[in-house]
Amino acid sequence: MPELPEVETIARRIEPHLVGKKLLRIIVLHTKSVRGDSSLVESAIVAKVSRQAKILVLRFENENALLIHLKMTGQILYQDSVVRLGGGHPTADWVAELPSKHTRAILEFSDDSKVFFNDMRLFGWIKAVDEVEFRQELQKYAPDIISPEITPEFFFAKLQRSRQPVKVVIMDQGVVAGVGNIYANDALHLSKLHPARPANSLSRLESGALLAALQKVIHLGIEKQGATIHSFRHIDGFAGSYQDVVRTYGKDGEPCPNCATPIERTKIGGRGTFFCPQCQPKIF
């Protein structure tokens, strides 16, 4: 699943290619994948490409916007006569002929360049919104884990409100936005906290350490241009390399980077959870 660093990376990669271009039209290949009134952004000029929570945001000069949520298996691939770049869920479509059978929508720009929205499992969406809807849509998401709004006080107060496992709470997008499974596992390891600990059992000190660890791994993820955990690795313009520095995610049986104890795997909140039984003891 593309996480915050992957979406941030896509925004940074495609922005220089889109700003100043006129979006001619949105070709809809699968109606479920495209929401809102496309005419809000058709014939408008792209002003900015950014990310908020895990949403890719194209702002236009007419103040309207196109929001893109990749969910589980979404991809954004920019293509012109010279380059193809983008990112998202790693599959053969990164390098296949486009549109592929997973292409759900195509953004056509006035210079003949295109952005393909591919999505194997159809959970993702693109949505054209006006200024009011834009603000309403983004209000549904809690502040980003790396935004200045998340102070140690704010974060501690959020954890105090729940008895659920701390890993579930930090991944709840209504609590803080942008913490996915890979980075949640690594931040808990870095701050030496057992992932099943009730969130409200963390001390102020532990909560502060966890917040610092989350921000550290997310920034590292952005620096490494995201993670490419699955089949497609090291394809220029698509893949990230966070997987080369990952601490625990997907490493069950391998030695802990701190103490060499084998990493264990369990399930918490339905998600694969990796931890070191030595560094992250189950005392609570």
| 101 in catalytic set | no
Amino acid at 141: Y
Q: Which of 170, 242, 247 is nearest to 206 (CA)?
A: 170
Applying CB under 5 A, does 164 fall inside the site for Zn ion?
Answer: no
First to last CA, the chain: 31
* The two structure tokens encoding residue 180: 């996915």
Applying CB under 5 A, does 259 fall inside the site for Zn ion?
Answer: yes
Q: Which residues contact 105 (CB under 8 A, 6 or more apart)?
A: 26, 27, 28, 29, 30, 33, 34, 116, 117, 126
| 2 in catalytic set | yes
Residues 103-132 that bind Zn ion (CB under 5 A): none
| 271 in catalytic set | yes
Amino acid at 49: V
| 54 in catalytic set | yes
Stretch near Zn ion under the rule CB under 5 A, chosen from 25-33, 44-52, 157-165, 274-282: 274-282
Taking the least distance from each CB to Zn ion, the nearer of 20 and 281 is 281
**Which residue is catalytic, options 84, 108, 271, 277?**
271
Applying CB under 5 A, does 162 fall inside the site for Zn ion?
Answer: no
User: Could you tell me if 284 and 198 are in contact, meaning their C-beta atoms sit under 8 angstroms apart?
Assistant: yes
**Which residue is catalytic, options 2, 5, 90, 165?**
2
Applying CB under 5 A, does 200 fall inside the site for Zn ion?
Answer: no
Applying CB under 5 A, does 278 fall inside the site for Zn ion?
Answer: yes
36 vs 31, 41, 186, CA distance in Å? 11, 10, 37
Residues 203-222 that bind Zn ion (CB under 5 A): none
By CB under 5 A, name the one of 258, 265, 269, 272 that touches Zn ion: 258
d(CA 282, CA 197): 8
Taking the least distance from each CB to Zn ion, the nearer of 48 and 216 is 216
* The two structure tokens encoding residue 269: 């909140």
Taking the least distance from each CB to Zn ion, the nearer of 157 and 259 is 259
d(CA 210, CA 221): 16
Applying CB under 5 A, does 256 fall inside the site for Zn ion?
Answer: yes
Taking the least distance from each CB to Zn ion, the nearer of 20 and 255 is 255
Cα 152 to its chain centre, rounded Å, is 22
Q: Which residues bind Zn ion (CB under 5 A)?
A: 256, 258-259, 261, 276, 278-279
